[in-house]
Structure formats: C-alpha cells, structure tokens
C-alpha cells in the first residue's frame, strides 16, 4: 500500500511529499470546477434542446419543424462558461480574503443588530427626502407610494404570520374591507378621509375577529386553506352584492384626499385650494407628493405601533404562541385572546392600507383584491424573513419595485421576477433578514464616566 503512494511523489518535479500534497489541494478545486461546469453545460443542453431546439413554422401547405441547434449549443456553452466564471471568482475571492481577517468579518449578533438599526434609519431618511431628490419625477414618486402600500400591508401581515405564526392566505380580504369601507362611507355619508380611516381600520379589525373565531383551533396548512377561502368569500360578495358594492363595476368617483379641507385642484367652488393656501403656483405634482407623504406617515405609524406592541405582553404572547402553543397555555396565556388580537391588529393595518388605496386610486373594484395580491403580500413577508420589519421593506422593494423597473423587459419581466426569487431563496433560504431581534437587550452597555456607578 505504501509503495504506490510514494512513487508519484518521487516522479513529480517537486520531490518532497508535503509539497505535492499542497499541489493537489491547490489543483483540486480547478478540476472540480471544470467538472461542475461540464455537468451544468450538459444539463443546460438537455434542457435547451426541447425548449430552444425546435420551432414550429408555417410553410406553404401546413406546418414544419425548424431546427435551431446552434442556439442550443450557444446556451450550453454560455452556461458552461458562466459556471466556470462564477466558481473561479468565488475561489479567487476566498483566497484574496486573508484567512486571519475572516473572524472579524463574521459580525457579532449585536453588531448585526446595530448596523440593521442604522440601516433602518437611513432608509427612513431616504424615504423622507425622496420627493426632493433631483432624479425624483412624478412617476417615481407614484411608484414609491404604491411600494409603501405594500410595505404597510407586509408589516400588517407580519403581525399575523411573522409574529403570531398564523399562516393567513386571505389577507387581501381585510385590505378590501378597508378600501370598500372608505369608498362607501365617503360616498354615502360624505365622511372625510380622516374620519373614515379609523372607521375602516375598525371595520377591518372586526372582520379579522370574525374570521378568527372559527379558525381558532386550526394551525398551519388547515388555517391557510380556511383563510384562503375567507379571502375568496369576501371577493365574491363584493362581486355579487350589486346594490351596495356596485359589483364588477366597482366604486368610482371616490373622494380624493384634501389637505385638511383644501383640495388639490386648480380651482374649487368653495373654500381655498392647497396652492392658494400656500401661495404656490398650481401643479398636479402637489397631490402626488401629498399622497406619498400620507402613505409614508401611515406606513411609519404601522411600523412604530408594531415595534411598540412587540415589547408589550400581548406582543410577546404572539411570539410565544408562534414558538410553542402548549408552553403558552401552561404559562397562563389565553390562546384564544392572543390569536384574535393578532388577527384583529393585522386586519386593522390592512384596513388602513385599503382606505388609503381607495383614496389614491379614486376607483376600486373586486379585481384589485384577487388572491394574487394575498400571495404577493405573503411572499413579501416570507422573503423578508418572518418577523423582520426591515426585511419586509427590502423584499417589498424587490417584489413590487423590481417588476415595475423590469417593465422595459416586456414579456421577460416575469422571467426576471422568477429568477430574482430563486436567487433570494438560494442565498437567503430563511428570508433576507432571518434572525429575530430580541425585544429586550441586556448586554452591558459601557456606561459613560459621567453617570458613575
């Protein structure tokens, strides 16, 4: 056994056994990379053959097959070369990073928390000055407003799914309840946005409780199915209750928001307009910017309330319920009340978001509240990392913002969207911000000399 292992080392140019061992260690990754890339290339060729390789074309007298093997070859070659590039780059990066420095780059839990905090503040500041940035045009601000609605919905659903651990697939129902509450209340009773907003939240919260009661005993998959059904019921009711909701025609001509009674129009029959009040020349942008700040205020309020509740006993009870229901009960927590309060709180935030959505659009119909919306909101929460507030902002930017920016790609838009999702799940399988922040932090903070012992 010893003889054959010794002979190759003596035959190579470097005679010392340790040197040859080092050599094989160094060379092995490249060999493996080549093999890996070959396998990827073959796989790509196999996949591309049926997808790219054949095309049905119209010829005189019928159809014929067109062969495009060159494309297949190109695709396989592209995957092969790309794989080598990626793996080599990763290897080079690993070698370039000195081994001694690595422990330092692995951030401590506390450090990660601190940097996440400051990251949150930077994001909030950026959001605050966004309309005044040089590149901000009407289009961007409008899209940012839409994004903020989804952030708000994500934060609301996060209470139910992320904190309380109740998988809700029908969240859009509460969004719809909020939107229709505002639309109908303002149309039939002439109530203003600021009166309707709390009412819409309250109504949505009541609906949350109504849904909560029958599903109290359910968990996981079963809960998901029932909530999915509830979401559909609400949509179907909106679609068919013609007298009240207008059915598929929806509700149009919803009162637009005003700046505390001063409308954003060029002229007004009564009172003063917004631009007259501040002595500005009329611009349609005012309303867009006002809506943006309104949504930002609502979203930040949602965030603050959620962060605050997390530190209260009820918020801790939500999280404890997600972790272990048996333990919760044995500690004297009433699971019924805890679950209902989570449903109600989450639904209330959706109600706020819904009534804002209604006033922004001026028109709502059941089409805006399809299951796809629920799925997107849930995807935002899951992708962001269940329970993480910042993660939800990031994933909302990814999931709602990116498809908007991808519009130039036309029919490949959804492909890029899917690709982005796969990449996220590969790199951050537990969400963008996976770790949970403790609500209390006891780590000794270095006391300043002034405070003393």
User: CB 205 → another protein: shortest distance, Å?
Assistant: 23
Of these, 108, 442, 445, 450, which contacts another protein (CB under 8 A)?
442
Exposed, middle or buried, 402 (CB in 10 Å: 0-12/13-18/19+)? middle
User: CB 208 → another protein: shortest distance, Å?
Assistant: 21
- Tell me which H or E stretch contains 56: strand 54-59
- Tell me which H or E stretch contains 290: helix 285-311
Write b or e for each residue in 84-101: b if 16 or more Cβ atoms lie within 10 A of its Cβ, otherwise e. Answer: beebeeeeeeeeeeeeee
Separate counts of helices (H) and strands (E) for the chain: 19, 6
Which window, 46-54, 263-271, 375-383, 434-442, contacts another protein (CB under 8 A)? 434-442
Count of positions on this chain that bind another protein (CB under 8 A): 24
The CA-based dihedral angle spanning residues 394, 400, 402, 406, taken in that order and rounded to the nearest 10 degrees: 180
The contact pattern for another protein, residues 383-422, with x = CB under 8 A and - = no contact, is: ----------------------------------------
User: CB 342 → another protein: shortest distance, Å?
Assistant: 16
Closer Cβ to another protein, 235 or 322, answer by number? 322
Q: Is residue 252 helix, strand or coil? A: strand
The CA-based dihedral angle spanning residues 183, 185, 186, 187, taken in that order and rounded to the nearest 10 degrees: 80
User: CB 212 → another protein: shortest distance, Å?
Assistant: 17
Closer Cβ to another protein, 190 or 332, answer by number? 332
Exposed, middle or buried, 268 (CB in 10 Å: 0-12/13-18/19+)? middle
User: CB 117 → another protein: shortest distance, Å?
Assistant: 16
Residues 150 and 371: beta-carbon distance below 8 Å: no
Please give the angle made by the CA atoms of 139, 142 and 146, to the nearest 5 degrees. Answer: 135
DSSP 53: S
The contact pattern for another protein, residues 315-344, with x = CB under 8 A and - = no contact, is: -xx-xx--xx-xxxxxxxxxx---------
| Secondary structure E strands in 147-191 | none
User: CB 442 → another protein: shortest distance, Å?
Assistant: 5
User: CB 101 → another protein: shortest distance, Å?
Assistant: 26
User: CB 332 → another protein: shortest distance, Å?
Assistant: 3
What count of other Cβ atoms lies within 10 Å of the Cβ of residue 184?
Answer: 20
User: CB 322 → another protein: shortest distance, Å?
Assistant: 8
User: CB 194 → another protein: shortest distance, Å?
Assistant: 36
- Give the CB-side neighbour count of residue 291, counting CA atoms within 13 A: 30
Distance, in Å, from the CA atom of 374 to the CA atom of 233, rounded to the nearest integer, reads 14
- Does 312 bind another protein (CB under 8 A)? Our answer is no
Of these, 17, 19, 419, 438, which contacts another protein (CB under 8 A)?
438
Residues 83 and 36: beta-carbon distance below 8 Å: yes
Closer Cβ to another protein, 106 or 441, answer by number? 441
Of these, 443, 446, 448, 453, which contacts another protein (CB under 8 A)?
443
Which window, 56-64, 92-100, 299-307, 310-318, contacts another protein (CB under 8 A)? 310-318
Closer Cβ to another protein, 128 or 331, answer by number? 331
Closer Cβ to another protein, 36 or 319, answer by number? 319
Taking phi first (over 0 means left), then psi (-120 to 50 degrees means alpha), and beta for anything else, what does residue 24 get? Answer: alpha
Looking at residues 91 to 150 of the shown chain, list those that interact with another protein (rule: CB under 8 A). Answer: none
Which window, 185-193, 215-223, 422-430, 432-440, contacts another protein (CB under 8 A)? 432-440
Closer Cβ to another protein, 317 or 378, answer by number? 317
Site residues for another protein per CB under 8 A: 313, 316-317, 319-320, 323-324, 326-335, 436, 438-443
């Amino acid at each position: 056994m010893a003889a054959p292992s010794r002979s190759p080392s003596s035959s190579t140019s470097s005679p010392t056994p340790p040197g040859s061992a080092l050599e094989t260690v160094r060379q092995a990754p490249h060999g493996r990379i080549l093999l890996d890339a070959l396998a990827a290339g073959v796989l790509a060729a196999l996949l591309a053959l049926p997808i790219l390789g054949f095309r049905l074309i119209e010829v005189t007298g019928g159809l014929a097959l067109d062969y495009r093997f060159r494309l297949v070859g190109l695709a396989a070659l592209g995957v092969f070369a790309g794989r080598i590039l990626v793996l080599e780059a990763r290897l080079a990066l690993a070698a370039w990073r000195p081994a001694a420095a690595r422990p330092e780059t692995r951030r401590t839990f506390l450090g990660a928390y601190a940097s996440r905090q400051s990251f949150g503040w930077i994001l909030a500041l950026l959001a605050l000055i966004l309309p005044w940035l040089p590149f901000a045009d009407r289009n961007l601000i409008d899209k940012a407003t839409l994004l903020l609605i989804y952030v708000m919905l994500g934060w609301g659903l996060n209470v139910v799914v992320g904190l309380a651990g109740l998988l809700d697939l029908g969240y859009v129902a509460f969004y719809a309840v909020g939107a229709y509450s505002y639309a109908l209340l303002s149309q039939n009773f002439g109530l203003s946005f600021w009166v309707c907003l709390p009412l819409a939240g309250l109504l949505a919260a009541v609906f949350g409780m109504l849904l909560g009661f029958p599903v109290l005993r359910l968990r996981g998959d079963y809960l998901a199915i029932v909530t999915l059904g509830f979401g559909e019921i609400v949509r179907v009711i909106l679609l068919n209750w013609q007298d009240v909701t207008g059915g598929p025609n929806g509700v149009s001509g919803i009162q637009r928001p005003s700046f505390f009674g001063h409308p954003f129009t060029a002229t007004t029959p009564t009172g003063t307009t917004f631009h007259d009040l501040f002595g500005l020349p009329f611009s349609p942008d005012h309303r867009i910017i006002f809506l943006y700040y309104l949504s930002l205020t609502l979203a930040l309020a949602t965030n603050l309330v959620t962060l605050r509740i997390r530190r209260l006993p009820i918020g801790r009870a939500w999280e404890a319920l997600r972790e272990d229901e048996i333990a919760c009960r044995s500690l004297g927590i009433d699971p019924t009340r805890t679950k209902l309060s989570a449903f109600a709180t989450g639904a209330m935030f959706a109600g706020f978001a819904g009534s804002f959505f209604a006033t922004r659009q001026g028109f709502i119909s059941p089409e805006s509240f399809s299951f796809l919306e629920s799925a997107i909101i849930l995807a935002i929460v899951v992708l962001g990392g269940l329970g993480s507030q910042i993660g939800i902002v990031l994933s909302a930017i990814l999931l709602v913002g990116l498809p908007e920016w991808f519009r130039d790609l036309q029919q490949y838009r959804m492909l890029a969207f899917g690709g982005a999702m796969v990449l996220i799940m590969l790199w951050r399988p537990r969400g963008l911000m996976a770790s949970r922040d403790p609500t209390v932090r006891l780590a000794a903070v270095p006391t300043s000399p002034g405070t003393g012992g």
